[in-house]
Structure 1
Amino acid sequence: MQRIGFVVAAGFQLVGLAAQSVFEYANLAAGRPAYAVSLLSENGGLVPTSSGLMLQTEAFSDAAFDTLIFVGGNDANPELTSGLLDFARQSMHRVRRLASACSGVTVLAAAGVLDRRRVTTHWFIARELQQRYPAIRMEEDRIFIIDGPIWTSAGATAALDLALAMVEKDLGAELARSTAHKLVMHHKRTGGQSQHSEMLALSPKSDRIQNAIAYAEKNLRAPLSVEKLAEVANLSPRQFSRAFQEETGQSPAKAIEKLRLESARLMLEQSRHPIEVVARETGFADLRRMRDAFTRHFGQPPLAMRRAMRAATA
């Protein structure tokens, strides 16, 4: 059985502890106690969350853990006590995985264990932390990043994705999927996925437009004409186009292009498919159109982006 320790300090953000449920449900899916979870703090006892709730914790000790996850709060400038930093430094040599959720990365950066490591955190504080700790290699637009024994995640619910990735690494993809299903998670996001989702950015108000967008996301390879999307929404093409523009602030064609770009970018990073295959699978009519869209949206063609991605992970 693997021991997982969540390390907290006063003012930590409660949502970071949601990842505990991933290990709890992994035990249920496995039908055995694969994980034991503890809540740790420097002095033990009751520790207040950012919302004022008090949670009971165990004090730092020499107890053996497989994984430690440092949970952050709403403040990018937490109190960094010598005891907390010493514990982070010592843990680097004691545990198999050292991780952070959201601004918990600040503790690891201040302890010096992230120097020359690829890391991520909540987009809101990423640039500030990069300036404060120039030795780290911050990638601000990632859900989570694994660099050897160091695992770091973006803010809020990204800790769930980080924990699911740990479960997949430990117990296999099928059990991780079963765990995600029990948690009623729509899907398990990969680490390379952007923190900024086009689906979230569209945020339509009505179920009809939402259903059309969901249909488009699942069928990017299809032509996806306004007529077809209007049919899914049970509206006339004219009604659909007007409602779509009003609810999302952009035309259906522009929104579909952004969804295709997001999907293509993910394929470039996570697969070795030829560029032509990526273009076909994400619904671009030909490679030239995808290249033009990438250059217009990302400032570089897809091949250059893939090379940059691979160089960053080398």
Structure 2
Amino acid sequence: MKKRMEFYFYPGMVALDVTGPLEVFQAADELLARNGRERDGYEMVFAANEPGPVSTSSGLRLHAEVRPGTRDADTLLVPGGLAAEAASTEAANVAAVRAAASRAERVVSVCTGAFILAAAGVLDGRRATTHWAMADRLGELYPEVRLEPDALYVRDGRVATSGGVTAGIDLALALVEEDYGPALAIEVARLLLVYRRRPGNQSQFSSALAMQARAGERFKPLFDWVETHLDQNLTVDRLAEKANMSPRTFARIFPSETGMSPGRFVEQMRIDRARELLESGAEGLDRIALQSGFGREERLRRAFQRRLGLSPAQYRAHFQQGEHHDQRSHLRDIHL
């Protein structure tokens, strides 16, 4: 029996927060049908408090067919957008989402759709994430949410939340895998030309990009220099020299403007470089450890376990799934 996926529409939502997951579920549905499994897959339902055309942030209008909760859903999905925080203050949205969520087997938000779930009490006491740029605001408004702002997506029981728009695609692929197995999720990712199973605890963004967005231009030359000198001994004194500050002043100002200590900053930049090398298929963890500035494989492994919750080998496996010979037997029943 097809799983009913109910998308909750409100004015100002981001169209890609809807269409990204929608294309994942639709592709899965088509692949299952090609293999004689027409009764499996997904039924898409588009709901709004006032059925009819709903304008997205880009001006594209999407059509809502029904009011939310007309029928119980297997999954309720709430998209995000700059309008999400304002939408979360409207009683009609909060009541509709709270009621629909209480009857759904799974509840999902993309990006800042988490604000609406939080306002409806769905995230109380749960681990959750949202777009990194709005994480502080979500935490300020809803301190009862156990926020993980750096994660691509977070699953806590029957509730799942994701970061920015493309993270919604990652989460949708994870739901397809949960529903119909890894082979189908792999083929959907191939069909859509997206990464297969980026782990949920993978960072949403480049550390350099995130810190530049927070700190502005002040430390940009330092960020650029560090990215090209990760294999060197990057002490606080060395970083302060490149920033044209005394070590004491640098150690005080850098964390206040970037939200990260110098040591954590350097480690995160090295992790980002190691991730790039692992994703590109670079061989040899010892070589990757050297090129990313960790020096030894053991230091690389400890940093990955501490910051990402998985080993470098496990991380690389996420980007190689579907390519190994031992995956072929799992894929033989699915053909594009």
Q: TM-score, normalised by structure 1?
A: 0.68
Mark the CA change 1:28 to 1:117 in structure 2 (over 3 Å): closer, same or farther: same
Q: How many residues align?
A: 243
Deviations 1:210-260 (A, max 9, x none): xxxxxxxxxxxxxxxxxxxxxxxxxxxxxxxxxxx9xx6556552898676
Indicate yes or no: 2:217 matched with 1:254: no
Q: Where does 1:1-314 land on structure 2 (aligned, <5 Å)?
A: 1-17=2-18, 18-31=20-33, 32-33=37-38, 34-58=41-65, 59-79=67-87, 80-197=89-206, 252=228, 254=230, 261-262=271-272, 283=289, 284-286=294-296, 289-290=299-300
Supply the distance in 2 between the matched residues of 1:86 and 1:25 (Cα, whole angstroms): 32
CA contact (8 A) 2:85 2:116 kept: no
Cα offset, 1:261, TM superposition: 1.9
Mark the CA change 1:306 to 1:108 in structure 2 (over 3 Å): closer, same or farther: closer
Deviations 1:268-312 (A, max 9, x none): xxxxxxxxxx97595354367549x95xxxxxxx776589xxxxx
CA contact (8 A) 1:264 1:279 kept: no
Q: TM-score, normalised by structure 2?
A: 0.64
Deviations 1:45-104 (A, max 9, x none): 111111112211022243121001001112352233323212222233311100101111
CA contact (8 A) 1:145 1:152 kept: yes
Instruction: Name stretches of at least 5 consecutive residues in structure 1 with no aligned partner.
Output: 202-244, 267-277, 295-301, 308-314
Partner amino acid, structure 2, of 1:16: D
Identity of aligned residues (%): 35
Bigger relative contact order (CA 8 A; separation at least 6): 2
Instruction: Name stretches of at least 5 consecutive residues in structure 2 with no aligned partner.
Output: 211-220, 233-266, 277-283, 310-336
Task: Find the residue that maps to 2:72 and give its secondary structure.
Answer: coil
Supply the distance in 2 between the matched residues of 1:152 and 1:304 (Cα, whole angstroms): 22
Partner amino acid, structure 1, of 2:5: I
CA contact (8 A) 1:44 1:60 kept: no
Supply the distance in 2 between the matched residues of 1:133 and 1:251 (Cα, whole angstroms): 36
CA contact (8 A) 2:13 2:84 kept: no
Deviates more, 1:120-129 or 1:79-88: 79-88
Mark the CA change 1:174 to 1:90 in structure 2 (over 3 Å): closer, same or farther: same
Cα offset, 1:173, TM superposition: 0.8
